[in-house]
Structure 1
Amino acid sequence: MKKHLLLLPLLAAAVSGCPSNSLKTANSSDSKPDLLHAALDTTVAPGDDFFSYANGTWIKNNPIPASESSMGIGKKVQEEVYARLRQTSIEAAKANAAAGSNQQKIGDFWAVGLDSVKADKLGATPIRAELDRIAAMKTVAEVPGVIAREIPLGVRALIGINVSQDDKNSEKMVLTLRQSGLGLPNRDYYFNTDSRTANIRAEYLKHVTNTFRLLGQNPATAQTNAAKVLALETSLAKSSRKLEALRDPYANYNKMSIAQLNKLTPGLDWKTWLTQMEFTGVDTVIVGQPEFYQNAAQLLRTTPLDDWKAYLTWQLTRTFAPTLSSEFVEENFRFYSSVLRGAKAIRPRWKRVLDMQEDALGDALGQLFVKEYFKPETKARYDTLVKNVVSSFAEHIQKVDWMSAPTKVVALEKLRKITPKVGYPSKWKDYSTLTIDRSSLAANVMRANQWQYRYELNKLGKPVDRTEWGMTPQTYNAYYNPSNNEIVLPAAAFAVPGLLDADADDALVYGYAGASTIGHELTHGFDDQGSQFDAKGNLHEWWSKEDRQRFNQRVAGIVKQFNGYTLLDSLHINGAATAGENIADLGGIVIGLDAFKKTKQYKEGKKINGLTPVQRYFLGYALGWQNHTRDESLANQLLTDVHSPAQYRVNGPMADVPAFYEAFGIKPGQKLYRPDSTRVIIW
């Protein structure tokens, strides 16, 4: 994926070419706005900190709101889409729309979501039946059945089960099992000994205790149960793999028959358990982390029933806390948003409801979105941009000196077969079987989760639908899917706040969309993970042994480079975990640049506000990472995210690009300067 944790609904009107005064700058009626020049902080030398040079003034003028853990270009555009989706939802709630229509579902979801008085009156009532089901268990033998009930509701209890394409046979949809079940972001939070993480663990224990008290438990019982939850989750964390280990597709591919899975997990009857989870006729499963499931089975044999009751009660309640009364909402915010990510105030309720509505009815909103905000002429521009960047990548593959001629032939064939999906899908999800009403927000979220679960379950054993999108068009993100060998580029990924598409020069567009989005996603097909999948989307080694060795040497160079970046005094970037994204950033920059060099703007060489076309190209790339983050959120990112922090997604790859040195006159002695011998060159 391109962006860091920005799976958010964003407005594409900025690139639609249609009138939109709210997106124009104050002087745009008289002249084209120059967002790149306006964002510069010329007190910073480009060769010392290009990120701050490119974005410094913008960052100074856009402080992080109290309700947010970060502020960036994505959040700015998000404000525009929120305004429009809010109006759409208000109108739908008043429309008295036909029962079962998308408008009725949008309207009812919005109306009950905004009704805080009703939510406060209901308290924990919307999840009471599920809480009672957990409390009624008499023996540990009943635990798997209760877990089977909770998982379709969206509760991540113990196991992670889903349907996906078989990594080694992309034509087949298979059942997969992956590690799951933790309340903290990942395993490292349970074991790291630094004071920051130790404090988070202490606050987590307090948070679980407080949540149990909100459910009516007395202080002593709540504290005891919270300790049981932490102990059980710590046991699960011990058998969970680290972030970087999860990136090895071969090590995380273990196909088993049901009989082999039963043997791996003594005491578990998977045929019965899968049937309880609505999966029938399953004969094989792919287990991502076998040691996790061995441990889970052992815990189901040895952990007392009361511990499981505490754990399942907690996992259920934390899942739906944001939908319940204000006391649950505020306690959930205190830990997950404030302690973990540094937010100072809770976000307005209407924004939180819109986020839930996006998860539940994203395609219904997407249809309205593209109709108004992503016009055909805009799609045509970015379709052409994709073709130009693909052509540039082909030229780079042909020229690299570390790849042999036979492997280049296969690489070019894979590139030729990458399917680009630009803007929005050709067909939309059908929500006709999803019931949305005004009973409670929690009930709607539960039903939406069940609908999504069964939507995915229904794919098992059926032909792969390669037309499907994994993101809505109003999502500010993009991705490469190795199993489909496709890049998916939602309309919102091209949005620039305050700028109409007609006012965006090619230098900005090629840097912002061509490099940091299109080129980035294309190179994911050839990074340390994506390169292990062939043109048909199958996990298969198509490189020669020598090519792979030479490639891995370059990957080791970028891992070493990013391991050397230290933040927050003692934390550093995990070069192995972030390698794929760092490779894609570097590749996107050099590929996008050569595509830009074929444009009229580059050939004419005219300056705009004193900036050359190539300088504007690099600034356009930096525009995509116009973001700053609270320390708490940054620390969380370093432990949990395969993307490097924004500053290093700019400064890191730029330090390896010779054209950047030339464009800004980077000299030895400046902080970003790296000798030729240490610069990483892949594409």
Structure 2
Amino acid sequence: MKKLLVGAAFGAMLLPSAALAHPDPLAWAAGDDHACIDEACTVFELFQTPAQGAGVVTGWQGTEAPRYGTWGFDLNGRDTSVNPGDNFFRYANGTAVDNLQIPSDRTSYGSFNLLRELSDNRVKVMIDALVARTDLTQGSDEQKIADAYRSYMDEARIEQLDAQPLQPYLAAIRAADTHDKAAVYMGETQGRIGGSIFGTGITIDQKAPTRYVVSTSQSGLGLPNRDFYLDARHAEKKVLYQAYVARLLGMIGWDNPEQAAADIVAFETRIAEAHWTLAQSRNRDETYNEYTIARLASEAPGFPWQDYYSAIGVGEVPRLIVRQDTALPKIAEIYAETPMATIQAWQAFHTTDDAAPRLSRRFSDAQWEFRSRDLNGQPMQRPRDKRGISFAEGMLGEAVGRQYVTEYFPAESKAKMEELVANLRIALGNRIRNYTWMSAATQAAAQEKLDKFTVKIGYPDKWRDYSALEVRADDLFGNAERAGLFQWNYQLARLNSPVDKDEWGMTPQTVNAYYNSSNNEIVFPAAILQPPFFDPNADPAVNYGGIGGVIGHEIGHGFDDQGSKSDGDGVLRSWWTPQDRAAFDALTSRLGEQYGQFEPLPGHPIQPLLTMGENIGDAAGVAVGLEAYHLSLGGRPAPVLDGTTGDQRFFFGWAQVWQSKYREDALINQIATDSHSPAEFRVIGPVRNVDAWYDAFDVQPGSRYYLRPEDRVRIW
């Protein structure tokens, strides 16, 4: 559990810039102002430790982008023994997926992972070159990147220090011997290491998106979410977690670690019972609750709110947003009822867990063994040099990205992407005007929103300034501390400033994309604009099925079940007629019923309310991407390539980007925690609702995933 909630309004996506030095998956997962294309926006394994022994199965090697077939799709990767209507994922990808080997330092592997490794390899070459130089100017971004990496690789120094960097924190935790003192301590460690039962940060005000606002959400758990405490399917993980808590407490010499661990897990289980579900926390109508600190203190007694916010540095704000408003009073009450010995042990554990990757190997190994091996089934840690690259990149992401763009992002890629985006916008506009279930008034409002979309491609126009961040080659722990505080101070400074519309929530070297509803923008970093998503030399149908589907997915988020609650200026308000909203909700309900029948593993069905936004995004991506492809033909017939039609190549392009294989524990974890459906159903789910797919592959009644025309859901 981490408590730092940062970022303008990017919710659970990959953390921007220096925030990566202090990741906060729980608080970010609570965000609801963005949506992105891949599950990595909620899971980022920044802090792993050195691989033990030999035998790591590695993934993509080198710095050259992969190639797929002769025109963008590898026909040899299909499994033609499978009927397309029985499993189009397998038909399009079966042989390729069967041949995939998950590297032993990964929990899954596929198209996204391959490009992430490509990006990592390129960044490693860049950083290695910086480290080898002796002429770097002190205080320059290049020096800071190189020294951040050196500090991570200085294992002798890290082992010598062992738990020493923790001692000031542990002393402060022991001194915080009342509930009020402990709450103040939670606030004082904002931007540093530690835990908090509440997550607080600076976000864009969803109802006034020209300004920032303080936002507070539920937090306090060390397992991925409430289900891991309350659902019998995860009981084994809870047992392993308690053992891990006891192990870390024993390593720091905490009194009676076994009993303390049992008390901590019981405390967190009570908090979990108070938590909203992830699906509930997606609902933007329910998570915008305007409060004053005085009102919160009145409605959620048992926690010293004013002292907490003052310690954070936001104690004078006139208003704040409370997300899970009915959960916070319950958590405050639980906190007040819990003995101080448990609160202190809880804080000591979370502080150690948070710090473990920056401590000696006995700590980092212990954390890896539970959080990566036990929770996600990862057999081996990533090599330390790769983790060092990620650490440096995490601290100075845009400084690394600036060099990445110079070396690896040609100008023609941006130009071709702009053409693709333009066609996708025209296609969706045509569809909006032709929807029979939507009134003219709502059609006009939807078109206005589409017209106001901002599109960001490749890299930011304005780069982040890291001059205030101190980085030392001999101080890994201190570097991470300073990076966290640097990022938090950056957030605090926003409160008196207008929203920065130029800011990016992902670095250029990130393989992902996102939609930000408060800015009404879609963003495509440079690193995703490569095969299999985008290849300037590929057949256009494959590009429209790949990156075109991604573009359509992100545009679709502006019109999904939550993104559709903001208008073209990013204001959270209803711009629908009641009748149109009811019709839309009926369509999404039907889509949810379809996805609720998918069961990637026995006993672990997809959660349709959790995945609804991403499923709508996928449906939009395929439908709008296909129409845009047809527009790009300009009335000309699509060529036949190797016996494939244009529409077939489009659907192959969409399927190919989801080539993936998971370890079972990782797949279970994704189903339980992720707003994205597993890869197989990101292919099957949308295509079975598109009429052209049936025509392209002659899918007939009796096929497993056949839907009657009247049962196909056409939202966008």
In the superposition, the TM-score normalised over structure 2's length comes to 0.90
Shift of 1:439: 2.9
Structure 2 residue 74 is matched with structure 1 residue 36:
yes
SS of match in other structure, 1:566:
coil
Residue 65 (structure 1) aligns with: 103
In the alignment, structure 1 residue 22 sits paired with structure 2 residue 64: yes
* SS of equivalent residue, structure 2 residue 222: coil
User: What's the offset of the Cα at 1:531?
Assistant: 0.8
CA distance in 1, matches of 2:345, 2:187: 17
For residues 518-561 of structure 1, give each alpha carbon's deviation from its aligned partner in whole angstroms, at most 9, with x where no partner exists: 10010111111011111111111110010011111101101111
Q: Which piece of structure 1 moves more, 86-95 or 626-635? A: 86-95
Q: Does the 8 Å CA contact 2:541/2:650 hold for their aligned counterparts?
A: yes
Question: 1:529 aligned to 2:556?
Answer: no
Matches within 5 A, 1:491-640: 491-496=526-531, 501-515=535-549, 517-600=550-633, 603-640=636-673
Paired residues of 2:427 and 2:628 also in contact (CA < 8 A): yes
How many correspondences in the alignment?
664
Any idea what the Cα deviations from partners look like across 1:27-58, whole Å, max 9, x if unmatched? Answer: x9xx9464332321222221111111111222
| 1:8, distance to aligned residue in structure 2 (A) | 6.8
| Aligned equivalents of 2:153, 2:289: Cα separation in 1 | 45
1:307 aligns with 2:342: yes
Task: State how far apart, in whole Å, the 2-side matches of 1:8 and 1:228 are.
Answer: 29
Q: Does the CA contact (< 8 Å) of 2:184 and 2:307 recur in 1? A: no
1:12 matched residue in structure 2: none
Of 201, 208, 222, which aligns to 2:245?
208
How far does the alpha carbon of each residue in 1:488-512 deviate from its partner, in whole angstroms, 9 at most, with x for none? 1111222226x98332221111111
Alpha-carbon distance in 1 for matches of 2:494, 2:664: 41
CA contact (8 A) 1:507 1:601 kept: no
SS of 2:112's partner is: helix
One-letter code aligned to 1:111: R
Q: How does 1:308-387 map to 2 (within 5 A)?
A: 308-387=343-422
Query: Which residue does 1:75 correspond to in 2?
Result: 113
SS of alignment partner, residue 174 of structure 1: strand
Residue 427 of structure 1: CA displacement?
0.5
In the TM superposition, what is the alpha-carbon distance from 1:280 to its structure 2 partner? 4.6
Tell me by how many angstroms 1:613 deviates: 1.3
> 1:302 and 1:24, CA in 2 relative to 1: closer, same or farther beyond 3 A?
closer
The alpha carbon displacement at 1:601 in A equals: 9.3
- In the aligned structure 2, how far is the partner of 1:640 from the partner of 1:500? 29
Partner of 2:703: helix, strand, or coil? Answer: coil
2-structure distance, mates of 1:602, 1:295: 62
Q: Deviations over 1:347-403 (max 9, x none)?
A: 111122222223211111110111111121111110111111001000000011100
CA distance in 2, matches of 1:205, 1:601: 62
> How far is the alpha carbon of 1:269 from its aligned partner?
4.0
Q: 1:306 to 1:502 in 2, by over 3 A?
A: same
Structure 2 CA distance for aligned equivalents of residues 210 and 81 of structure 1: 36
Any conservation in 2 of the 1:507–1:614 contact (CA below 8 Å)? yes
1:51 maps to what in 2?
89
In structure 1, give the amino acid aligned to 2:552.
G
**What is the CA distance between 1:94 and its match in structure 2?**
3.1
Secondary structure of 1:576's counterpart equals helix
Secondary structure of 2:494's counterpart equals coil
Given that residues 212 and 494 in structure 2 are in contact (C-alpha distance below 8 angstroms), is that contact kept between their aligned partners in structure 1?
yes
Q: Following TM superposition, by how much is the alpha carbon of 1:677 offset from its aligned partner in structure 2, in angstroms?
A: 2.3
Of 391-400 and 38-47, the range deviating more from structure 2: 38-47
Deviation at 1:242, TM superposition (A): 0.4
C-alpha displacement of 1:681: 1.3
Selected match of 2:332 from 292, 297, 304: 297
Structure 2 equivalent of residue 130 of structure 1: 169
In structure 2, what is the Cα distance between the partners aligned to 1:299 and 1:354?
41
Distance in 2 (CA, whole Å) between partners of 1:636 and 1:460 is: 36
Tell me which residue corresponds to 1:166.
Answer: 205
Offset at residue 154 of structure 1 (A): 4.8
CA contact (8 A) 2:63 2:121 kept: no
User: For residues 549 and 138 of structure 1, do their structure 2 counterparts lie closer, same or farther at Cα, with a shift above 3 Å needed?
Assistant: closer
Q: 1:659 to 1:324 in 2, by over 3 A?
A: same
Q: Which residue of 2 aligns with 1:13?
A: none
Does the 8 A contact of 2:73 with 2:653 survive in 1?
no
Aligned-partner residue type, residue 502 of structure 1: P
Unpaired stretches in structure 1, ≥5 consecutive residues: 10-19
Aligned residue for 1:449? 484
Once the two structures are superposed, the pairs formed by residues 96-107 of structure 1 within 5 Å of their partners are: 96=134, 97-107=136-146
Give the superposition deviation at 1:605.
Answer: 2.4
- Deviation digits for residues 620-658 of structure 1 (CA, Å, limit 9, x no counterpart): 111221111111011111111111000001011111111
CA distance in 1, matches of 2:65, 2:280: 43
* Letter of the structure 1 residue corresponding to residue 535 of structure 2: D
Q: Which runs of 5+ in 2 are unaligned?
A: 1-35, 46-61
Q: Secondary structure at the match of 1:164?
A: strand
Q: Is the 8 A contact 2:303 2:336 kept in 1?
A: no
Does the 8 Å contact 2:119/2:527 carry over to 1? no
Do the aligned partners of 2:154 and 2:474 also contact (CA within 8 Å) in 1? no
Kindly indicate whether residue 684 of structure 2 is the aligned counterpart of residue 651 of structure 1: yes
The residue type equivalent to 1:412 in the other structure is: Q
In 2, Cα distance between the equivalents of 1:439 and 1:653? Answer: 51
Q: Shift of the alpha carbon at 1:173?
A: 0.7
Q: CA deviation at 1:172?
A: 1.8
Match of 2:447 in 1: 412
Q: Distance in 2 between matches of 1:545 and 1:100?
A: 57
Partner of 2:189: 150
| SS at structure 2 position matched to 1:489 | strand
Match of 1:246 in 2: 281
What is the aligned partner in structure 1 of residue 23 from structure 2? none
Residues of 2 paired with 1:299 and 1:578: CA distance?
A: 30
Distance 1:550 1:330, change over 3 A: same
Are 1:399 and 2:434 an aligned pair? yes
Name the residue aligned to 2:159: 120
Structure 1, 419-428 or 152-161: larger mean CA deviation: 152-161
Contact 1:64 1:71 in 2 (8 A): yes
Separation in 2, partners of 1:312, 1:257: 27
**Structure 1 residues 182 and 675, CA, compared in 2 at 3 Å: closer, same or farther?**
same
| 1: CA distance, partners of 2:513 / 2:193 | 24
- SS of residue in 2 equivalent to 1:605: coil
Aligned equivalents of 1:486, 1:528: Cα separation in 2:
17
- Letter of the structure 1 residue corresponding to residue 601 of structure 2: L
Of stretches 350-359 and 251-260 in structure 1, the one that deviates more from structure 2 is 350-359
Aligned to 1:431: 466
Corresponding residue SS for 1:23 = coil
- Distance, in Å, in 1 between the alignment partners of 2:612 and 2:452 is 24
Name the SS of the counterpart of 2:310 in structure 1: helix
- For residues 629 and 150 of structure 2, the distance between their equivalents in structure 1, rounded to whole angstroms, comes to 48
Q: Which residue of 2 aligns with 1:191?
A: 230
CA contact (8 A) 1:150 1:316 kept: no
**Cα distance in structure 1, aligned partners of 2:196 and 2:180:** 16
Distance 1:4 1:43 in 2: 30
CA distance in 2, matches of 1:8, 1:603: 44
Q: Any idea what SS the aligned residue of 2:288 has?
A: coil
With 595-604 and 533-542 compared, the bigger mean Cα shift is at 595-604
How is 1:480-499 mapped onto 2 (pairs within 5 angstroms)?
A: 480-496=515-531
Counterparts of 1:266-277 in structure 2, within 5 Å, are 266-277=301-312
